[in-house]
Each structure stands twice: as C-alpha cells, then as structure tokens.
C-alpha cells in the first residue's frame, strides 16, 4: 500500500497550518490547504503553490465541502484573542460547524481527523500544571467564551463521532505557540512585544505582568501534532502539547528587550477580563504515549522569531481586524 496520503489541512494558510502543510508536502503527501484567509494570507503558502503535491482552496469551513481524503488536520479557527473576539458568533460557528463538517467528511471517507484544541479549554485553571483529566474553569458568558466553549464543544463532537460512528479521531490541546510567520498584527504577547521592542515603542504589559504562560516553539508543536496523528495505538487524546517552561509576562518582556537590544520601557495597561492567571502544561501523557518532548528553549526560539520579524516588510501584512 502507498504511504502517500491525501491530507486536508483546514486553516492551512495560518501560522501553524502553513508550517504543517510545509512538513506534510516535504514528506511527499498530497496536501490540500483550505482557508478563508480571515487571519492569514496567501503569501504564507506561496512557496508551496507551484508544487505538484500542494493545492490551495479558498473556502469557509462553516460551509460543507466534498473532498476525498485520508487524513484531516482541523486547524481553521482564529486563535489570537483580538481576532476571535472580533466576531464572536463567527468564531463559535467556525469551531462547531467546522467540526461537524470535517467529522462528516471523515465519516464518509473513513479518514482520520485531528482537532487542534487548546489550553483555553481549561479556562482560568485552579489546577497547576494542567493535566488532561482536569475539566477546566471556563466562564461561559465571558469575552473568551466564544473561543473556549467553541473548542470545548468541538472536543465533544469529536469524541461523540468516535463513540457513535467509530470515526478515527485525535484531539490535541495546544498551549501558547510562537515562531516565525505569526501574524504581526495578531496582538498576541510574543508578536506584540517583539514588534514594540524592534520599533523602540513602549512594551505593553497587561495587569502586573505576574500572570504566566508557557511558550512552545512552532517546530516542537508541529512534531507533537504529527506524532499524535500517526500514533498507531488508537490513542485519541486529548493530549496536551506545549512547553512546560513557565514564564511570567514580565519575564518575557525583559527577555525580549535583552535579545533585541531595545531601549523600550515597560508600561502597564489594564488586564483584560478573564485573562488566565497561570498556564502550564503537564506533558506526561505526551511523553508516555508519543515519546514527545519539546526541544527548543524560549531564548533560542525567541532569537529565531526576532530574526524573522526583522526580515519582514510589515507593509505587506493586512491587519485582520481594526482592533489590532
């Protein structure tokens, strides 16, 4: 049997999706990238367009589509708070209807389907570090709910299609991931701090800066995702994929200033509602089931990301929303 698979990546032109497409194309698979370009642009996959085993489809995943595939990575969903809160109803539709559409396709084609879930399913966690068995603390009516609850509902759909229709599913809970090709106007902390530092502008810390995040470099993340899809054990997850190194936001700001050699000053702004206080993955399950470990320390990953931000022409990027 051929080892070349027909693989659909929804959200394939985005930050993580475009790297995943690149990896799968390089492995020789036939890759279909589907995207509505809400938070991305064609240039992210331009280098793949001429290749015979890559295809790009402009499509909105809330609308069904008929394709024949062996595997689906479901990445379509705005991921940065400023992007997913811009049109919250569209965000939850993307997670829920998108899940229904890819699961229906997977059922028809007998394809394997992986859901890009998120650490946001844990909300503002009372358990630290977060294990997969922790059920989370999400405010269902807060500003982050459109994303958090949409991703939680998508997980429910994935396990129910698995239980009732025997669809071969995989669920990965992704923790904060960064790296080259992040959208420069996504408003996420890594892109904001790097751009502010490179421009010599004030670095905007929300709250006191003592909230924590754990930052995973994108290559480590993609490796974990592909291992999860390929695991032959029938292990469906959910599994945490993230880097357990935990940093306060203030520490991140200081590191970015050091690595850029910037003279930017720290300024403090109000903390957004429901901003999680601490976040750190327990990755014991990924270590055990996938033999996966992150390998890139924050300092090294930031150096690569800063070099990329220095290299791009910012005027070629369109802000996805007016609120960047």
Q: Which is nearer to ligand UDP, 37 or 324 (CB)?
A: 324
- Residues forming a β-bridge with 74: 10, 115
Query: Which residues in this chain contact ligand UDP in the complex, by CB under 6 A?
Result: 80-81, 176, 188-189, 192, 204-206, 211, 213, 249, 272, 275
Nearer to ligand UDP by Cβ, of 103 and 249: the residue is 249
Q: One symbol per residue from 62 to 101: x for binding ligand NAD (CB under 6 A), - otherwise; what is it?
A: x------------xxxxx--------------x-------
- In this structure, what are the phi and psi dihedrals at residue 245, rounded to the nearest 5 degrees? -65, 120
Whose Cβ is closer to ligand UDP: residue 30's or residue 202's?
Answer: 202
Determine the interface stretch with ligand NAD among 47-55, 59-67, 276-284, 304-312 (rule: CB under 6 A): 59-67
Q: Determine how many CB atoms are found less than 10 A away from the CB of residue 195.
A: 16
Q: How many Å apart are CA 170 and CA 159, to the nearest integer?
A: 9
174 binds, among ligand NAD, ligand UDP, none (CB under 5 to 8 A by kind): ligand NAD
- Residue 302 in contact with residue 259, Cβ under 8 Å? yes
Tally Cβ neighbours within 10 Å of residue 9: 29
Can residue 36 be called a binding residue for ligand NAD (CB under 6 A)? yes
Task: Please say which residue, 24 or 80, places its beta carbon nearer to ligand UDP.
Answer: 80
Say whether residue 132 binds ligand NAD (CB under 6 A): no
Q: Which stretch binds ligand NAD (CB under 6 A): 11-19, 226-234, 249-257, 276-284?
A: 11-19
In angstroms, the CA 181 to CA 227 distance is 22
Q: Is residue 17 near ligand NAD by the rule CB under 6 A?
A: yes
**Residue placing its CB nearer to ligand UDP in the complex, 36 or 176:** 176
CB of 290 to ligand NAD, least distance (A): 17
For residue 269 the two structure tokens come to: 């702004």
What is the token pair recorded at 226?
């592909």
**Known active-site residue 73:** no
174 binds ligand NAD (CB under 6 A): yes
- Convert 108-133 to b/e letters by CB count within 10 Å (16 or more is b): ebebbbbbbbbbbbbbbbeeebbebe
Of 84, 86, 122, 147, the active-site residue reads 147
Residue 250 contact partner, candidates ligand NAD, ligand UDP, none, CB within 5 to 8 A by sort of partner: none
Q: Which does 249 bind (CB under 5 to 8 A by kind): ligand NAD, ligand UDP, none?
A: ligand UDP
179-208 residues near ligand NAD, rule: CB under 6 A:
183
List the single partner that 192 binds among ligand NAD, ligand UDP, none, CB under 5 to 8 Å by kind.
ligand UDP
Specify the residue, 31 or 174, whose C-beta has the smaller distance to ligand NAD. 174
137 vs 122: CA distance, rounded Å:
6
Which does residue 13 touch among ligand NAD, ligand UDP, none (CB within 5 to 8 A, set by kind)? ligand NAD
Positions touching ligand NAD (CB under 6 A) are: 10-11, 13-17, 35-40, 60-62, 75-79, 94, 116, 118, 174, 176-177, 183
Q: Which residues are catalytic?
A: 147
């Amino acid at each position: 049997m051929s080892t070349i698979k027909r693989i659909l990546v929804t959200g394939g032109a985005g930050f993580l999706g475009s790297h995943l497409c690149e990896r799968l194309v390089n492995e020789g698979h036939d890759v279909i990238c589907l995207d509505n370009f809400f938070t991305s642009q064609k240039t992210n996959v331009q280098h793949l367009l001429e290749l015979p085993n890559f295809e790009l489809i402009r499509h909105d995943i809330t609308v069904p589509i008929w394709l024949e595939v062996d595997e689906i990575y479901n990445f379509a969903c705005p991921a940065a708070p400023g992007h997913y809160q811009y049109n919250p109803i569209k965000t939850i539709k993307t997670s829920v209807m998108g899940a229904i559409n890819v699961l229906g396709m997977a059922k028809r084609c007998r394809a394997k389907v992986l859901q890009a879930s998120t650490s946001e399913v844990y909300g503002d966690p009372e358990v630290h570090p977060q294990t997969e068995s922790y059920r989370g603390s999400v405010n269902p009516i807060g500003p982050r709910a459109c994303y958090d609850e949409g991703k939680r509902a998508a997980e429910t759909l994935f396990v129910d299609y698995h239980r009732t229709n025997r669809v071969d599913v995989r669920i990965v809970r992704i923790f904060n991931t960064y790296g080259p090709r992040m959208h420069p106007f996504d408003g996420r902390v890594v892109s904001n701090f790097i751009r502010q530092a490179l421009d010599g502008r004030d670095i905007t810390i929300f709250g006191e800066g003592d909230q924590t995040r754990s930052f995973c470099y994108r290559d480590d993340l993609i490796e974990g995702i592909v291992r999860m899809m390929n695991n032959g054990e029938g292990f469906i997850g959910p599994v945490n994929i993230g880097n357990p190194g935990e940093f306060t936001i203030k520490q991140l700001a200081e590191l970015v200033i050091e690595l850029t050699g910037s003279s930017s000053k720290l300024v403090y702004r109000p903390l957004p509602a429901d901003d999680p206080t601490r976040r750190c993955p327990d990755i014991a399950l990924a270590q055990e089931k996938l033999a996966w470990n992150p390998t890139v320390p924050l300092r090294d990953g930031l150096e690569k990301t800063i070099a990329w931000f220095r290299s791009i022409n910012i005027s070629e990027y369109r802000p996805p929303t007016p609120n960047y």
